[in-house]
Amino acid sequence: MSMATGVSICSNALLMLGAKSINDFNEPVDRAKIAANLYPTVRNDLLRTHPWNCTIKRVLLAPDATPPAFGYANQFELPADFLRVLEVGQAGLQVDYLVEGRQILANATSLELRYVYLNEIENTWDANLVALLTLAMAAAMAYAITQSAAVRDSLKQDLEMAKKVARAVDGQEDPPQTLGDEHLYASRFGARG
């Protein structure tokens, strides 16, 4: 884990652009205002685009007192820190559901939700995610800081390559996914079991 904060990530991104660093988002300089304005959006977008291991939670949801007007038996309030659904189930089974606004609609009496949450504690993140967000902030601030479209475009290309590497490394920590009934696959491919 790293000792990163939003300010240190933005400060390092500014240094990548050849600008002076910042110590606080509230500094009375344009680069601090730009960083403070862009940081939440860039961070949330990056966290939402991939199920980073450091941003996954599980919760058991109870239905709201008021059911939806039609279509499903119950609605469930999404957690306040919710960014993206990964898995919805009930007692280990997949459930037919629909996300509408801040609700999940389903024909279930309770829901097991596995989701990407807004982890705002950067020092709990993997070092690759911190480096990736630093690069994403540099790309986002590049034109405003340097007035160079070439620098911005170059950083965006670097960011796309870095995303692939960071996602691959993050995914290597997870166990392999099974594709279904092992006996069916074994018989299909001639293995005896």
* Token pair in block for residue 17: 């652009």
Domain definitions of the chain by residue range:
6-51+125-171, 57-117
* Whole-structure pTM value: 0.83
CA 25 remoteness from chain centre: 23
Using CA atoms, how far apart are residues 101 and 30, in angstroms rounded to an integer? Answer: 35
Arithmetic mean of pLDDT, 38-65: 96
Q: Which residues contact 92 (CB under 8 A, 6 or more apart)?
A: 112
pLDDT digits 0-9 by tens, 83-100: 999 999 877 788 899 999
Q: What pLDDT does 192 receive? A: 52
pLDDT tier for residue 6 given thresholds of 50, 70 and 90: very high
Q: What pLDDT does 187 receive? A: 54
